A and B are shown apart, each in its own frame.
Chain A
Amino acid sequence: MKSRGMDPVLSTVRLTVREAVHTLSSSEDGGCIFSTLGSLKRYLGETENPALPEEQEEFARIHFSTFLRCLVGKLSPDWLELLPDGQLEELWASFFLEGPADQAFLVLMEAIEGAASPSFRLMKMARLLARFLSAGRMAAVMEGQCRQQTEPAFSLLQETLLSKVVGLPDHLGNRLQRENLAGFFPQNYFPLLGEELLQALHVVVESLRGGLDCSVSFLSQVLGKACVHGRQKELLGVLVPRLTALTQGSCLWQRVCWRLVERVPDRAMEAVLTGLVEAASGPEVLSWLLGNLVMKSKKAQFVMTQKLLFLQYRYTTPVLRSLLGYLAMDSQRRPLLIQALKELLETWGSSSAIRRAPLAQQHYISKAILVCLAHLGEAELQDCRDELLASLMAGVQSHLDSSLPAVRRLGMIVAEVASAQIHPEGPPLRFQYEEDELTRELLALATPQPAADSPSEAGPPVAPVTAETTNEEMVSSGGPQAQPEGSDSELDSDDEFVPYDMSGDTELRSSKAPVYVRDCVEALTTSENWERWEATLRALEGLIFRSPAATQEVSVELAKVLLHLEEKTGVAGFEALRQRALVAVTVTDPVRVAEYLTTQFYALNYSLRQRMDILDVLTLAAQELSRPGRRQKPPQRGPPGPGPQPGSPATPAWQAVVEERIRSKTRRVSKGSAGQGPAADPNKFNSVAGYFFFPLIQLFDRPLVTFDLLGDDQLVLGRLVHTLGALMYLSVNTMVAVPMGKALLEFVWALRFHGDIYVRQGLLSAVSSVLLSVPAERLLADLPDELLEAQSWLADVAQKDPDEDCRTLAIKALLLLEKLRDKLLPPPPP
Chain B
Amino acid sequence: MPLAPGTSHTSDFAGRSWSEAWTEGRDTPGDCIPPSMVAPPSPPPPPPDPQFVLRGARSAVHALHFCGGAQGQGHPLLLSGQGRDLRMHVWDLAEGRNAIVDSVCLESVGFCRGSVLACGPQRWMLAMPGKGGDEVQILEMPSKTSVCSLKPEAEARPGMPMCLQLWQADSSPLPLLLAGYEDGSVALWDVSARKVCSRVACHEEPVMGLDFDSQKARGVSGSAEKALAVWSLDEQRALQVHGTHQLTNPGVADVRIRPDHRLLATAGWDHRIRVFHWRTMKPLAVLAFHSAAVHCLAFATDGLLAAGSGDQRISVWSLYPRM
Taking beta carbons and an 8 Å cutoff, which residues of A are in contact with B?
A: 472, 475-476, 478-480, 482-483, 488, 491-492, 494, 496-502, 504-508, 642-645, 652-654, 656-658
Q: Report yes or no: A654 in contact with B49, Cβ–Cβ below 8 A.
A: yes
Is residue B47 within 8 Å, beta carbon to beta carbon, of the partner chain? yes
Q: Given A482-B216, A502-B47, verify A472-B280 contact (CB < 8 Å).
A: yes
- Residues of B contacting A479 in the complex (Cβ-Cβ under 8 angstroms): 216-218, 232, 242
Question: With A and B bound together, what is the CA distance between A560 and B277 in angstroms?
Answer: 52
Residue from the list A491, A497, A498, A654 in contact with B47, Cβ < 8 A = A654
- Residues of B contacting A499 in the complex (Cβ-Cβ under 8 angstroms): 44, 282-285
Question: With A and B bound together, what is the CA distance between A476 and B282 in angstroms?
Answer: 12
Is residue B233 within 8 Å, beta carbon to beta carbon, of the partner chain? yes
Q: Given A502-B285, A504-B286, verify A480-B291 contact (CB < 8 Å).
A: no
Residue from the list B242, B270, B322 in contact with A496, Cβ < 8 A = B322
Is residue B41 within 8 Å, beta carbon to beta carbon, of the partner chain? yes
Nearest CB in chain A: distance from B50 CB, A: 10
Question: With A and B bound together, what is the CA distance between A750 and B59 in angstroms?
Answer: 71
- Residues of B contacting A643 in the complex (Cβ-Cβ under 8 angstroms): 291
Q: Report yes or no: B279 in contact with A492, Cβ–Cβ below 8 A.
A: yes
Residue of B with least CB distance to A478: B242
Interface centre among A479, A480, A492, A507 (most CB of B within 10 A): A479
Residue of A with least CB distance to B240: A478
Residue of B with least CB distance to A505: B286
Q: Report yes or no: B242 in contact with A491, Cβ–Cβ below 8 A.
A: no
- Residues of B contacting A498 in the complex (Cβ-Cβ under 8 angstroms): 39-42, 44-45, 284
Known: A497-B320, A499-B44, A504-B288. 13 other contacts (CB 8 A): A475-B280, A482-B216, A482-B217, A492-B262, A492-B279, A494-B277, A494-B280, A497-B282, A498-B41, A501-B44, A502-B285, A508-B271, A653-B46
- Residues of B contacting A506 in the complex (Cβ-Cβ under 8 angstroms): 248
7 inter-chain pairs at a CB distance below 8 angstroms, sorted by A residue, are A476-B280, A482-B217, A483-B217, A492-B277, A500-B284, A502-B283, A654-B49
Q: Given A479-B216, A482-B215, verify A654-B46 contact (CB < 8 Å).
A: yes
Taking beta carbons and an 8 Å cutoff, which residues of B are in contact with A?
A: 39-42, 44-49, 215-218, 232-235, 242-243, 248-249, 260, 262-263, 270-272, 274, 277, 279-286, 288-289, 291, 311, 320, 322
Nearest CB in chain A: distance from B242 CB, A: 7
Nearest CB in chain B: distance from A721 CB, A: 43
Nearest CB in chain A: distance from B39 CB, A: 5
Residue from the list B46, B217, B277, B289 in contact with A501, Cβ < 8 A = B46
Nearest CB in chain A: distance from B323 CB, A: 10
Q: Report yes or no: B47 in contact with A504, Cβ–Cβ below 8 A.
A: yes
- Residues of A contacting B270 in the complex (Cβ-Cβ under 8 angstroms): 508
Question: With A and B bound together, what is the CA distance between A507 and B277 in angstroms?
Answer: 22
Question: With A and B bound together, what is the CA distance between A202 and B314 in angstroms?
Answer: 88
Interface centre among A502, A653, A654 (most CB of B within 10 A): A502
Q: Report yes or no: A501 in contact with B262, Cβ–Cβ below 8 A.
A: no
Q: Does more than half of chain A's interface fall in helix, strand or loop, or is it mixed?
A: loop
Q: Given A480-B233, A482-B216, A505-B248, verify A500-B45 contact (CB < 8 Å).
A: yes
Q: Given A499-B282, A642-B311, verify A480-B288 contact (CB < 8 Å).
A: no
Residue of B with least CB distance to A641: B291
Question: With A and B bound together, what is the CA distance between A498 and B40 in angstroms?
Answer: 8
Question: With A and B bound together, what is the CA distance between A507 and B282 in angstroms?
Answer: 19
- Residues of B contacting A645 in the complex (Cβ-Cβ under 8 angstroms): 271, 288
Q: Report yes or no: B285 in contact with A476, Cβ–Cβ below 8 A.
A: no
Question: With A and B bound together, what is the CA distance between A501 and B277 in angstroms?
Answer: 15
Q: Given A492-B279, A645-B271, verify A502-B44 contact (CB < 8 Å).
A: yes
- Residues of B contacting A658 in the complex (Cβ-Cβ under 8 angstroms): 49
Q: Report yes or no: B248 in contact with A507, Cβ–Cβ below 8 A.
A: yes
Interface centre among A488, A500, A508 (most CB of B within 10 A): A500
- Residues of B contacting A644 in the complex (Cβ-Cβ under 8 angstroms): 288-289
Nearest CB in chain A: distance from B211 CB, A: 16
Q: Report yes or no: B288 in contact with A652, Cβ–Cβ below 8 A.
A: yes
Question: With A and B bound together, what is the CA distance between A505 and B275 in angstroms?
Answer: 12
Question: With A and B bound together, what is the CA distance between A427 and B132 in angstroms?
Answer: 68
- Residues of A contacting B284 in the complex (Cβ-Cβ under 8 angstroms): 497-500
- Residues of B contacting A476 in the complex (Cβ-Cβ under 8 angstroms): 279-280
Q: Report yes or no: B217 in contact with A480, Cβ–Cβ below 8 A.
A: yes
